């Protein structure tokens, strides 16, 4: 168990391209931190630098307060789970799990190794597969063997490199829960790399969002969602993505292509001196006007729009509204779309409506939008103009307390 | 099989093709085999099968007149070939590992040179080598053959092994490193077991090349000190100068074929085993 301090970490490749640029991150003992970002954001590189598989160009890496920049992987006492499992195909499941202990000759007696392997196998429900070879296991089982190899070590930290991306969707959900519970039970500091929204939101105590090697924001999933620091974080976190409507603020009115939206004084204040702003509205801020009761209705505004089409997903339904984009922001939105791995920018508003709703494409619908949760972004800098830093910090502090409570509960369960 | 079942027409075609290839490949061996059991009188009979089966030819090379010539040659062949194979395998394993794993300047040059050496005609090297070896005292010694054999076996070993090493998932080694292994342990415990089939295959190929060599064997030796079997066969003599020692040569040829066959049968499984399956998502 250990804390990990990443200080101004830089990774440059031979051609001088910084894959990771000045990333700083303090990871507390027992914390579960997710590194998330689109491909090429440097998230895996950061993880591999922690593991010692990648040299550090500059900056400092401390594990448990000790500088480990120059140490080879074996002296860092971290365990890693690879995307492709990286099981030793010539060894049985038992020997795969025992492998790390076998490397430290004399440190573990035969009985100790056996006991630890069996305990890990039991935890991961692998007992009946111990004599089999990895080739004969299913994807989920292989993943569990890889985790078994990590947990027998009693390592200072677990590093996960997109461990679930090779599994099918159903299994992924199940393994996600298992990883989460395992981490809580063992209370081992964990760093987890993923590009999957759901994994980032559900697993992490804190989530670090990276773009092109630069850290954008580190916060609890809730804070990222509610109080994103900039346009990129707002757009990257949440699926479907946040809508960005161009507009200008006059008085307390936001003029947008879909109509005028009345803002409160604080919001309007933030955007008033900008010529053009981007209003960030998540799909679920919308609803069908008829579904919203009167007390709620006052918190937002009703407008009419023609729907281009709808998508029904069983538990939810999305309606799409086409709008004319403002030429002043097309470049910004285009580059944002590229940053987020989306191929092109769509001038389509995504609106979440009730799954039971009967509105269909072609209809003109009365929609309601919750205006209080709208964020305004500066298209020039990407900065969130209406971010409430205090509220955000409160959300992250809440997640921290949650974690500590859970760790205590798990600890109590272990000792009883 | 993913290819599905063959139609009966395809099956017949394949059967004929297989039989044809087998006949083409095995008929000479069978012919030498039966010849080695023929009596001197049978040799000119123009019949495939011997009229009487006899061990005379084998007796001759093992305990009879050709004994000294054959047995020392056999000892030379075995010794020289094994040493050349072992050296080739060790050197090419290290070299191929570096080529497959590391990025260093001159990687292409090494591979290119290896290829160039392997396509260089042996016969054009042999005369200068003969002169050089005589000057520096390597002529007619084991080492004098081992070195040229390395020039034959190393290039192909480096090529086969580096191709093989490239298929081994890089991540396994990294996993071992993170699991607490040193670079050497990671190589020995995670990579070598996976590379073993490739190394076996390479060793066998290298062994065959050295074992079957004739040109170097006949040109760079003059006495029993280093002469290998393929070269020694040319020095067999019949009972009189009018008799061709065909029977004895056939027997010797069969004897030197045995190690090759045994090797293949022994390591067949290693050669074809799909050990890397399951290392990564299949």
Q: Is A261 domain-assigned? A: yes
Q: Which two tokens stand for residue A339?
A: 């940053």
Question: pLDDT band at B277, cuts 50/70/90?
Answer: very low
Say if residue B3 is exposed, middle or buried (CB neighbours under 10 Å; 0-12, 13-18, 19+). exposed
Please report the sign of the dihedral spanned by the C-alpha atoms of residue A22, residue A26, residue A30, residue A34. Answer: negative
Hey, is the C-beta of A79 within 8 angstroms of any chain B C-beta?
yes
In this structure, are A150 and A20 located in the same domain? yes
Question: pLDDT band at A220, cuts 50/70/90?
Answer: very high
Q: Do A74 and B177 touch (CB under 8 A)?
A: yes
Q: Is A350 domain-assigned? A: yes
Residue ranges of alpha helices (H) inside B137-275 are 142-167, 170-178, 183-185, 192-212, 215-219, 229-232, 246-272
What is the span of the domain harbouring residue A318?
A: 231-387
Closest-CA residue in chain A for B282? A135
In this structure, are A281 and A213 located in the same domain? no
Question: pLDDT band at A1, cuts 50/70/90?
Answer: low
Hey, is the C-beta of B111 within 8 angstroms of any chain A C-beta?
no
Hey, is the C-beta of A132 within 8 angstroms of any chain B C-beta?
no
Hey, is the C-beta of A103 within 8 angstroms of any chain B C-beta?
yes
Q: Check pLDDT > 50 for residue B279.
A: no
Q: Which residues contact A368 (CB under 8 A, 6 or more apart)?
A: A286, A287, A288, A289, A291, A292, A297, A300, A301, A302, A303
Kindly report, residue by residue over A247-261, the tens digit of the pLDDT: 899 888 999 888 888
Q: Check pLDDT > 90 for residue A190.
A: yes
- What order of strands is seen across the sheet that includes strand A157-161? A78-81, A157-161, A189-194, A32-36, A206-211, A214-219
Q: Do B182 and A137 touch (CB under 8 A)?
A: no
Q: How far is A89 from chain B (nearest CA, A)?
A: 5
In this structure, are A176 and A316 located in the same domain? no
CB B148 within 8 A of CB B129: yes
Residues of chain B with pLDDT > 90, as a percent, come to 20
Domain boundary among A168, A200, A226: A226
Q: Do A86 and B280 touch (CB under 8 A)?
A: yes
Q: Do A89 and B174 touch (CB under 8 A)?
A: no
Give chain A positions within 8 Å (CB) of B282.
Answer: 135
pLDDT at B278: 35
CA distance A282 to A278: 13
CB A326 within 8 A of CB A276: yes
Residues of chain A with pLDDT > 90, as a percent, come to 45
Q: Is the peptide bond before A240 cis (omega within 30 degrees of 0)?
A: yes
Q: Do B275 and A89 touch (CB under 8 A)?
A: yes
Say if residue B236 is exposed, middle or buried (CB neighbours under 10 Å; 0-12, 13-18, 19+). buried
Summarize the confidence of residues B125-147 as an average pLDDT. 90
Hey, is the C-beta of B194 within 8 angstroms of any chain A C-beta?
yes
Q: Is A414 domain-assigned? A: no
Question: pLDDT band at A416, cuts 50/70/90?
Answer: low
In this structure, are A246 and A210 located in the same domain? no
Q: Is A407 domain-assigned? A: no
Task: Tell which CATH classification among 3.40.50.300, 1.10.3720.10, 1.10.3210.10, 3.90.1310.10 matches the domain B54-272.
Answer: 1.10.3720.10
Give chain A positions within 8 Å (CB) of B183.
Answer: 72
In this structure, are A91 and A188 located in the same domain? yes
More confident residue, B193 or B155: B155
DSSP 3-state percent helix, strand, coil across chain A (nearest 5) = 35, 30, 35
pLDDT at A129: 92
Give chain B positions within 8 Å (CB) of A129.
Answer: none
Three-state DSSP class for B49?
A: coil
Average pLDDT, chain A: 89
Kindly report, residue by residue over A83-111, the tens digit of the pLDDT: 888 899 889 999 999 999 988 777 888 89
Domain boundary among A226, A247, A264: A226
Q: Do B177 and A53 touch (CB under 8 A)?
A: yes
Domain boundary among A226, A254, A273: A226
In this structure, are A203 and A244 located in the same domain? no
Q: Do B194 and A142 touch (CB under 8 A)?
A: no
The pair phi, psi for residue B227, each rounded to 5°, is -70, 120
Q: How far is B191 from chain A (nearest CA, A)?
A: 9
Q: Check pLDDT > 50 for residue B113.
A: yes
Q: Check pLDDT > 90 for residue A16.
A: no
Q: Is A400 domain-assigned? A: no
In this structure, are A113 and A256 located in the same domain? no
Q: Check pLDDT > 80 for residue A263.
A: yes
Q: Do A74 and B280 touch (CB under 8 A)?
A: no
pLDDT at A343: 64
CA distance B130 to B117: 18
Structural domain tally of chain A?
A: 2
Q: Check pLDDT > 70 for residue A377.
A: yes
In this structure, are A76 and A149 located in the same domain? yes
Question: Would you say the ipTM is above 0.95?
Answer: no
In this structure, are A183 and A287 located in the same domain? no
Q: Do B179 and A135 touch (CB under 8 A)?
A: no
pLDDT at B61: 82
Nearest to A21, CA basis, from A47, A59, A50, A52: A59
Three-state DSSP class for B272?
A: helix
Kindly report, residue by residue over B232-251, the tens digit of the pLDDT: 887 876 666 667 788 888 88
In this structure, are A133 and A9 located in the same domain? yes
Nearest to B228, CA basis, from B138, B145, B139: B145
Q: Is A194 domain-assigned? A: yes
Q: What would the DSSP string read from start to end of A142-168?
A: HHHHHHHHHHTTT-SEEEEESTTTTS-
Kindly report, residue by residue over A317-361, the tens digit of the pLDDT: 999 999 888 888 888 888 888 888 776 667 889 999 988 888 888
Q: Of B176, B178, B277, which has the smallest distance from its Cβ to A89's Cβ?
A: B277
Q: Is A56 domain-assigned? A: yes
Give chain A positions within 8 Å (CB) of B185.
Answer: 103
Helix (H) or strand (E) holding B106: none
Average pLDDT, chain B: 83
Kindly report, residue by residue over B24-48, the tens digit of the pLDDT: 999 998 998 988 888 877 777 778 8
Q: Check pLDDT > 80 for residue A381.
A: yes
Kindly report, residue by residue over B156-182, the tens digit of the pLDDT: 889 888 888 888 887 888 999 999 899
pLDDT at B282: 34
Summarize the confidence of residues A47-75 as an average pLDDT. 92
Q: Do A80 and B185 touch (CB under 8 A)?
A: no
**Domain boundaries along the sequence of chain B:** 54-272
pLDDT at B23: 93
């Amino acid at each position: 168990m250990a804390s990990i301090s990443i200080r101004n970490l830089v990774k440059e490749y031979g051609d001088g391209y910084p894959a990771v640029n000045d990333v700083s991150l303090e990871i507390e003992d027992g914390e579960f931190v997710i590194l998330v970002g689109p491909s090429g954001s440097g998230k895996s590189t950061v993880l591999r630098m922690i593991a010692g598989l990648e040299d550090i160009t500059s900056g400092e890496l401390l594990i448990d307060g000790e500088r480990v920049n120059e140490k080879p992987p074996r002296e860092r006492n971290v365990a890693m789970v690879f995307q492709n499992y990286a099981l030793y195909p010539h060894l049985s499941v038992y020997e795969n799990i025992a492998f790390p202990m076998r490397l430290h000759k004399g440190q573990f007696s035969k009985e100790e190794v056996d006991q630890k392997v069996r305990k890990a196998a039991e935890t991961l429900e692998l007992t009946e597969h111990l004599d089999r070879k990895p080739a004969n296991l299913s994807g989920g089982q292989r993943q569990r063997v890889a985790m078994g190899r990590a947990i027998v070590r009693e390592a200072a930290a677990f590093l996960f490199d997109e461990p679930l991306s090779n599994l099918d969707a159903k299994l992924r959900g199940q393994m996600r829960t298992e990883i989460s519970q395992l981490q809580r039970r063992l209370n081992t500091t964990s760093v987890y790399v993923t590009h999957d929204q759901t994994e980032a939101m559900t697993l992490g105590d804190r989530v670090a969002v990276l773009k092109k090697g630069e850290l954008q924001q580190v916060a609890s999933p809730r804070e990222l969602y509610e109080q994103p620091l900039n346009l990129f974080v707002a757009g990257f976190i949440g699926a479907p993505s946040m809508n960005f409507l161009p507009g200008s603020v006059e008085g307390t009115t936001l003029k947008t292509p879909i109509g005028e939206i009345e803002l409160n004084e604080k919001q309007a204040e933030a955007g008033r001196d900008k010529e053009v702003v981007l209003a960030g509205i998540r799909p679920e801020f919308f609803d069908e006007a008829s579904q919203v009761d009167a007390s709620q209705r006052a918190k937002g505004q009703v407008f009419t729009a023609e729907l281009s089409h709808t998508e029904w997903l069983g538990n939810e339904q999305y309606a799409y509204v086409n709008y004319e984009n403002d030429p002043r922001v097309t470049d910004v939105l285009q580059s944002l779309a590229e940053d987020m791995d989306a191929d092109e920018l769509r001038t389509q508003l995504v609106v979440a409506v009730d799954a039971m709703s009967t509105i269909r494409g072609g209809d003109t619908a009365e929609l309601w939008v919750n205006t209080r949760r709208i964020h305004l972004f500066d298209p020039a800098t990407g900065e969130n103009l209406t971010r409430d830093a205090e509220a955000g910090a409160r959300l992250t502090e809440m997640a921290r307390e949650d974690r500590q409570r859970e760790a205590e509960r798990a600890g109590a369960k272990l000792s009883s | 099989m993913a290819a599905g079942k063959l139609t009966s027409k395809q099956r017949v075609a394949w059967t004929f093709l297989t039989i044809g290839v087998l006949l083409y490949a095995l008929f000479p061996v069978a012919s030498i085999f039966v010849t080695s059991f023929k009596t001197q009188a049978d040799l000119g009979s123009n019949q495939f099968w011997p009229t009487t089966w006899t061990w005379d030819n084998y007796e001759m090379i093992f305990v009879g007149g050709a004994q000294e010539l054959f047995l020392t040659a056999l000892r030379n062949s075995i010794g020289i070939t094994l040493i050349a194979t072992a050296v080739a395998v060790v050197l090419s394993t290290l070299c191929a590992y570096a080529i497959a794993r590391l990025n260093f300047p001159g990687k292409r040059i090494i591979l290119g040179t290896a290829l160039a050496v392997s396509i260089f005609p042996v016969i054009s090297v042999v005369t200068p080598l003969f002169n050089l070896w005589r000057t520096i005292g390597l002529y007619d010694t084991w080492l004098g053959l081992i070195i040229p054999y390395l020039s034959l076996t190393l290039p192909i070993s480096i090529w086969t092994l580096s191709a093989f090493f490239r298929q081994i998932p890089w991540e396994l080694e990294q996993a071992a490193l993170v699991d607490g292994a040193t670079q050497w342990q990671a190589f020995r415990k995670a990579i070598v077991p996976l590379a073993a089939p490739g190394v076996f295959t390479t060793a066998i190929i290298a062994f065959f090349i050295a074992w079957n060599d004739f040109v170097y064997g006949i040109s760079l030796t003059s006495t029993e000190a280093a002469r290998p079997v393929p070269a020694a066969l040319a020095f067999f003599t019949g009972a009189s100068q009018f008799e061709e020692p065909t029977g004895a040569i056939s027997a010797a040829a069969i004897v030197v074929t045995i190690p090759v066959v045994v090797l293949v049968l022994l390591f067949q499984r290693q050669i074809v085993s799909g050990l890397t399956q399951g290392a990564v998502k299949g």
